[in-house]
Amino acid sequence: MNAIELFSKLMDGKRVQGVLYIDENTGKLTFKPNSNKTRTRLRDRLICRMEHGWVKESEERIKVYESVPKELGTAHVMAILDREHKDAKDALIDRELDMLEFC
């Protein structure tokens, strides 16, 4: 980044991350910007959508999300959680079987 670009960003009120130092060879004030590259992450792949949540797959994990309303009562919520976790497990088994068919 040259000095004109740096100065214009600062005058616009933006922040610039980097190191400001005096160069040993030239003896001039030098600015070295940090390279803040954004990490690109693959989006999670939906395996199964359920009544109260979903099952997704990332590069390293299987994710299960459940959100059940409290007003249904404890017994009903527990039954829903049991049913949906069974459905999530069945979806994972189906995914494995589908993967074996392609091999």
Three-class SS state of 14:
coil
For 45-102, the pLDDT digits (tens) are 999 999 999 999 999 999 999 999 999 999 999 999 999 999 999 999 999 998 887 7
- Of 40 and 54, the structure prediction assigns the larger pLDDT to 54
Residues 6+ apart with CB under 8 A from 86: none
Asked whether the predicted pLDDT for residue 1 surpasses 60, the reply is no
Stated pTM of the model: 0.60
CB 21 within 8 A of CB 33: no
For the beta carbon of residue 84, count every other beta carbon within 10 angstroms. 20
CA distance 54 to 62: 11
> What is the Cα–Cα distance from 50 to 53, expressed in whole angstroms?
5
